[in-house]
Structure 1
Amino acid sequence: MTALRSTASTLYVVRSEVDPDCEYHCDALASRFPDATEIDFVAGERPPLEDADGVVLTGSTAAVYEADRRPWIADQEALVRELVDRKIPTLGVCFGHQVANAALGGTVENVGTTATLVEADLADDPLFEGVAPVVPAVHGDAVTEPGEEMDVIVAADHAPVFGTRHRSAPLWTVQFHPEITAAVRDRLVEDFGWESKPFSFDDVSADRVFENFRTLVDERRE
C-alpha cells in the first residue's frame, strides 16, 4: 500500500549566511515560510530532495567566486543542478540568484555596493503577480552573464540581470530581497550604508514574491 503524502507542500529554506551578525535577513526570509524546514548549508546540512516540493535559497554576505576557500559553495552549485534535473520548484534570492546562475555557467562579478530601494522592470511572470516595481536591493556582486537556459525576467538600471527564470525547469531567481522591510532599516544603514531616497517602503510589495512562489509550488504539487 502506498502511503498518503501530507496535504501541505514540503518546503526547505536553505540558509547560506556566513556572518552571524547578518543572519537577520535569513531570519526574515524564513519567517515567510513558517512551516518550512530550515537547512544550515554552511554548517554542512543538506536538504533531502526525495520529499522536497520546493526549495528557497537565501542571500549571503559570501561571494560565489570564493568557492576555493568556501567549499560549500561548490556543493550548493551542485544542489542547484540537481534541483533543475529533478524539476523541483526553486527560488533563489540575492546570493541564491547568483549561485544558481553560476551553477549553470553564468558569471558573477563584484560591481560595488547597492543598498537602497530601486525601480525594477518586472516581466509578466506569475512570480511577480501583485508585485510593485520598487524593490529592496542590498548587494555588492551581480550576475553579469546569466546561466545556460536562464532568461532575464527582471532588470534594473544598475544591474541588467536582476532576476532570471529557467526555460524548462521551475527555477526562479531575484537579485533583490523580497524579505527586507522597514523593520530592519537601521541594521541596513549600519551594515551596508542603506540610502532611503528616492523611494519609501510604502512603495514596496516585494514580499508577494514569496506568496506567489508558494502558490506555484502548491500548483505543481497538485
Structure 2
Amino acid sequence: MRDQRSHGEPEDDRYRTVAGESLHETEVNRSRFLCALAPAGTEEEARAFIARIRARHPDAAHHCWAYVIGADAAVQRGDDDGEPGGTAGPPMLRMLLRRGMRCTVAVVTRYFGGVKLGAGGLIRAYGGAVGEALDAAGTVTRRRMRLASVTVGHDRAGKLENELRAAGYAVRSVTYGSRVTIEIGLPGSAAAGFCAWLADTTAGTARAELGPEWYGPP
C-alpha cells in the first residue's frame, strides 16, 4: 500500500476528472487489463467503487487500483493487489497525476494470460491501461464556484438581471417576493470583485449574500 499526502498547497480553482464511470480493455501478451474509471469526491466513494469492481470480476487474478482525492490532490493512494511491489498501483497513480486528474479512481482488473510480463512490463501495462482508458473516456473540468444571492427592488430587478448576463455572470434563478432575489453562480475567486461591481452598478441599491461553494458548472 502506498499513501502519499500533499500538505500546504492552496486549493485549486478548478480540477480535471472523468465525467462518469467507464471501462476500457487492453491486452498485453495475452493478459487482459480492464481499466474502470470513475469520479470520486471522497475516499469512501473511491473504495466503494473498487469494491464494486472486485465483485463484478471475482475470478480475476488482480484488482489493482489508484485514486487521487481533492482538488488539491490532498489524498493519493495506490495498491498492487498481489502484483510485485511497485508494479501496478504506483504507475497507475503516476498516470493519474501526470494527466492532471483529481477526484478520480482507477481500477485495473487483470486476467492473467499465461505469459509473465516482468516488472518493467507490468509497470508499462498498468500505467498504459490507465492512460488509454483516460483517452477513451475523455475528461471534464470542474470549476470552484460560489453561490451569491442578490436582493434588489422590483423597479431595478429587470435591468440588473440584464446587466448581470451582459457582464458574463451565470444567473441561476430569479425569485419574486417583497423584493427580487437573483441567484448567481460565481467563480470562487471572483466574489470580492463581484460585490464591488454590484455596488458600483446599482449605486448600492442591491445587496449580495455569499453562500456555499461547490465544484462544477455554474
TM-score after normalising by structure 1: 0.24
More strand by share: 2
Q: TM-score, normalized by length of structure 2?
A: 0.24
> Which is higher, the Rg of structure 1 or of structure 2?
2
